[in-house]
Structure 1
Amino acid sequence: MYEKRKFSDSWAIILGGSSGFGLATVEKLAEYGMNSTVVYRETAMQERSLRLKMEALAEKQNVSIELFNINALDTAARHGLIEKLTEDKHKKGAVRLLLHSIARGNLKPLMPQTGMNVDSIETISVEDIRYTTYAMSTSLLDWARELLAAGLFQKDGRIIGLTSEGAHKHWDGYGAVSIAKSSLESLSTYMAVELGRFGIKTNLIQAGITETPSLNKIPGSEKLIQVAKERNPLGRVTQTTDVANVIYLLCTDEAGWINGSVIHVDGGEHCR
């Protein structure tokens, strides 16, 4: 029982926690007593379903799960939420994990399929790239610095982001996201060094191909899934629970010396 409640005084802040890796992480950490503040952006109909699910989970695991349907990329929204968190004395110095699981961006090619009209609405713009990079990369820095300044992190805090193989190879329509993920990998290296003096460890997980709502939006996702099954040594695609399990491990005391790493969670898919 002690093992299961090891994080009962700790909090996780999950950016993008309504589905996919973020949701699976909330569920996994709740098993070990970790409370969660979940930030997401959903329609009223989707939110109703999420709230019912989280209420049932919180009751089952005897944890607190706070839901905030706000734009995590909006400065005022971020300020407002962090101010609200600092008002709760139980959260001061209690944030064990900041997970960045925001999947928001543009999925267009760099060049049109026919002709040379790069101003076509079918192609990615510099503004699209800028937005996607902030959403899926540099917004992590804003959240981390503000949480640190507010005194919310534990002395042994963890920051985890999510990258992908698409940061290093061509996937159709993935250009803006690839740029964002590459940026995130560089950013995490600098955060690992410069936040390390505060006791905070920053790492990234490179998950294998995983069937999530975000993946399904990528052009040709069905082919990505099929190829992943064929090349994976363990014969299946990655599941969100596989990733959540490793996020949990990175939160443990035993993982305290892991900093500045990109950890493959893909069953060996990246090996071939």
Structure 2
Amino acid sequence: MKARFENKNVLIIGASTGIGHAIASQILEEGGTVYVAGQHKPDLDVKFFEWDAMSPDESAFNSLPDTLHSLIYCAGTINLKPFGRLTLENFTNDFQMNTLGAVAAVQPNINRLKKAKGAGVVFFSSVAANTGFTFHTSISMAKGGLQGLAIALAAEFAPSGIRFNIVAPSLTDTPLAEQLLSSEERRESSAKRHPLGRFGLPEDMATAATYLASDEASWITGQILGVDGGLGKLK
């Protein structure tokens, strides 16, 4: 594998399991130095510090190097309920984790990203932000806000060479989706919903995210990449 991240500093928010773990693994394999902020240290050779998107502490980033070449925000939620059963607290918590958490991760590090003179920032949205699904009201709202954030930041920081892009997955086999894939029957049903006949794997998302974060995507910004087995566009 080409060492796209050799001599690069990459900050990943949330990498103990699932998609973030797969991203960290790929970047390490490609020569990157990985810094992970989260609540649990992954079983990887990364530099870890505690940080909580629900109550973010800006000072936690003080130990980072002066230059960051990539920032990947992987924190997220799956909170699927009928609209009438969602509380205002549900909406607030999902928005904090998915959207305001991204703000709290990027804002203290914007000067570090500027110093890279070509940094790549990647957020994770959802196919549900652009395609209507039953019971997805709260997560669709939060991820829609995240997409708006990314596009606005892409415009504001294009002159500084910082690129902001979004990966929008469909259902992916991670601990976060464990309940949705809890039986063989559910797994088969979920696979059949997708035009390509399967649900996503963490590696699918990691491949897309590492591409967008790397110099190979140096002319791509403000984009939403659907990695969803065709669910968002095809019937």
TM-score (norm 2): 0.87
Give the aligned partner of residue 236 of structure 1: 198
Would the aligned equivalents of 1:147 and 1:153 in 2 still touch at CA under 8 Å? no
Q: Quick check: 1:82 aligned with 2:44? A: no
Percent of aligned pairs with the same amino acid: 24
**Structure 2 runs not aligned, ≥5 long:** none
Would the aligned equivalents of 2:173 and 2:181 in 1 still touch at CA under 8 Å? no
Segment drifting more, 141-150 vs 10-19: 141-150
Give the aligned partner of residue 82 of structure 2: 109
- The amino acid across from 2:159 in the alignment is R
RMSD: 2.5
Give the aligned partner of residue 117 of structure 1: none
CA distance in 2: counterparts of 1:269 and 1:28, whole angstroms: 26
Q: Secondary structure of 2:89's match?
A: helix
**Cα drift, residue 73 of structure 1:** 3.4
Q: Please show how residues 66-145 of structure 1 align to structure 2 within 5 Å.
A: 66-75=47-56, 77=57, 79-85=58-64, 91-93=65-67, 95-104=68-77, 106-111=79-84, 123-145=85-107
Cα-to-partner distance string for 1:143-174 (whole Å, 9 max, x where unaligned): 212101356751111111111122231233x3
Q: Please show how residues 144-223 of structure 1 align to structure 2 within 5 Å.
A: 144-150=106-112, 154-167=116-129, 168-172=131-135, 174-217=136-179
Cα-to-partner distance string for 1:150-208 (whole Å, 9 max, x where unaligned): 56751111111111122231233x32212101111111111111121211111111113
**Structure 1 runs not aligned, ≥5 long:** 59-64, 86-90, 112-122
**Cα drift, residue 227 of structure 1:** 4.1
Inter-CA distance 224–266: structure 2 relative to 1 (3 Å threshold): farther
Q: Select the residue among 208, 211, 216 that pairs with 1:246.
A: 208
Would the aligned equivalents of 1:102 and 1:135 in 2 still touch at CA under 8 Å? yes
Q: Rg larger in 1 or in 2? A: 1
Give the aligned partner of residue 8 of structure 2: 10
Work out which structure has the larger RCO, using CA pairs closer than 8 Å and 6 or more positions apart in sequence.
2
TM-score (norm 1): 0.76
Q: Secondary structure of 1:80's match?
A: helix
Cα-to-partner distance string for 1:1-44 (whole Å, 9 max, x where unaligned): xx6434221111111111111110000111110111112224xx
CA distance in 2: counterparts of 1:40 and 1:252, whole angstroms: 22
CA distance in 1: counterparts of 2:196 and 2:17, whole angstroms: 25
CA distance in 2: counterparts of 1:30 and 1:232, whole angstroms: 31
**Cα drift, residue 217 of structure 1:** 4.5
Would the aligned equivalents of 1:209 and 1:238 in 2 still touch at CA under 8 Å? yes
Inter-CA distance 234–125: structure 2 relative to 1 (3 Å threshold): closer
Would the aligned equivalents of 2:14 and 2:20 in 1 still touch at CA under 8 Å? yes
Q: Secondary structure of 1:136's match?
A: helix
Inter-CA distance 182–226: structure 2 relative to 1 (3 Å threshold): farther
Would the aligned equivalents of 1:155 and 1:198 in 2 still touch at CA under 8 Å? yes
Inter-CA distance 243–151: structure 2 relative to 1 (3 Å threshold): closer
